[in-house]
Amino acid sequence: MSTALYPLVPPFVAVVVLIARLLIDFGYKLGLVDKPNSRSSHVGAIPRVGGISIFIPYIILGLGLYLAGFEFVQANLPYWFGLTAIVLLGTIDDRLDLSSKFKFAVQFAVATYYVISSGNYVDNMYGLFGINELPAWLGISLSIVTVVYLINAVNLIDGIDGLAAGTSMLSLYLFSTLMGGGEYFFTFAFIGLGLIVFMGFNFSDNKKIFLGDAGSLGLGFVLATMAMEFLFSGNGHMEHLNLNPVIVAVLILGYPIADTLRVFTIRIAAGLSPFNADRRHMHHVLLNKDFTHFGATTFIMTCVGGIVFMNKSLAPMLNSHVMIVLNIGVILLIHMFVRHRSVQLRIFWRSFSRGIFNPVKKVWTRYVTN
């Protein structure tokens, strides 16, 4: 990220905090609230304004940088137009509860526009399963479906406090680092800081807000476009990797991809629609095992971080196909441990997470949300 942008960081954070606090009251007045239902774990209506609080300042910042002549913004207009459309779609959905068919139609239109206009798509499998370069029509089609899948995958894991925000922040950091920082670190720096602000409110007892569809769909689009830019061979982001780039991208987005695929498989096996709402997500499993929202979120984030570290450490010694088997095995072991050793795990993790994060929460509550 250009050093010229560093002075913008403090005012950006201040604006996100200010908008979040102001929109708490307006959220109730405008009907941008999440009312509890049979799948909810909260009581009372909660404003769904977290995503708006982050993305309105971010998009306005992008507009300002475009007018100021910053090349990395001017050269990436499909991203900014697509993000604006997705955030607008999510905001309207938070208020009107749009039909799933309409939302999918808009998402496919935006994904198609972004992939074709930007030229970023999965054009190579880099030898995975013996496949290398893909025909343009196949790569573009696969990429459009993938973008829509990722947009909805992030939206589907947004079921407990901090989970979608926390895992997305980790993914943003990993993508920006692997792509060499610079302009890519801009996305992590500003959206990541916005997510930290949001999580402070999200875990608050008296100023609680949710991301809403504007936030979760927006995050899904940002991560999907970063994945496309990372995987397009023409951008040259994979020369320094010691693991297949496709596997790397899947690992970075591992939790929303794996959890959504797992839930879809269970629902289809049960004869239900894959989009049938239920409590089968891993975060619901942890809540049913008496984990708190905070405990479930930090546990999942730690597992994701641990798997990424394991792959970084072992990739130089093992080939990509062995790493796939190893990752599947580790995920199954974690799942079995959660299922059959939940009491011991919950007791340990509650003590561990409270000892580390409770002091931070107290400071945030005292000086920001109050």
Q: What is the mean pLDDT of the chain?
A: 86
Span 181-199, average pLDDT? 86
Place of tokens 């007892």: 205
Q: Say if strands 131-133 and 46-47 run parallel, antiparallel, or are unpaired.
A: unpaired
Higher pLDDT, 325 or 357: 325
Residue given tokens 């979120």 in the structure block: 297
Q: How confident is the model at residue 44 (pLDDT cuts 50, 70, 90)?
A: low
pLDDT of residue 207 exceeding 90: no
Q: Is the pLDDT of residue 36 over 70?
A: no
pLDDT at 285: 83
- Cα–chain center distance at 41: 21
Which is nearest to 150 in space by CA: 54, 53, 252?
Answer: 252
User: Stretch 221-232: mean pLDDT, rounded?
Assistant: 95
Give per-residue pLDDT as tens, 52-63.
999 999 999 999
Tokens of 114: 């972004």
Q: pLDDT tens digits for 66-125?
A: 999 888 899 999 999 999 999 999 999 998 888 989 999 999 999 999 999 999 999 999
User: Residue 311: which region, alpha, beta or left (left: phi > 0; alpha: psi -120 to 50)?
Assistant: alpha
Q: How far apart are CA 172 and CA 223, in angstroms?
A: 7
Q: What is the pLDDT confidence band of residue 42, given thresholds at 50, 70 and 90?
A: low
- The mean pLDDT value for 234-248 works out to 83
Spatial distance between the Cα atoms of 63 and 334, rounded to a whole number of angstroms? 44
Is 167:156 a contact under the CB 8 Å cutoff? no
- Report the pLDDT value the prediction gives residue 369, as an integer from 0 to 100: 58
**What is the Cα–Cα distance from 357 to 29, expressed in whole angstroms?**
33
Higher pLDDT pick, 45 / 15: 15
What pLDDT, in 10s, does the model give residues 265-289? 888 888 877 777 777 888 888 888 8
Q: Is 125 helix (H, G, I), strand (E, B) or coil?
A: strand
pLDDT 10s digits, 135-174: 999 999 999 999 999 999 999 999 888 899 999 999 999 9
Count the Cβ atoms, other than its own, within 10 Å of residue 246.
Answer: 21
Read off the pLDDT of residues 326-341 as tens digits, 9 standing for 90 and up. Answer: 888 888 888 888 877 7
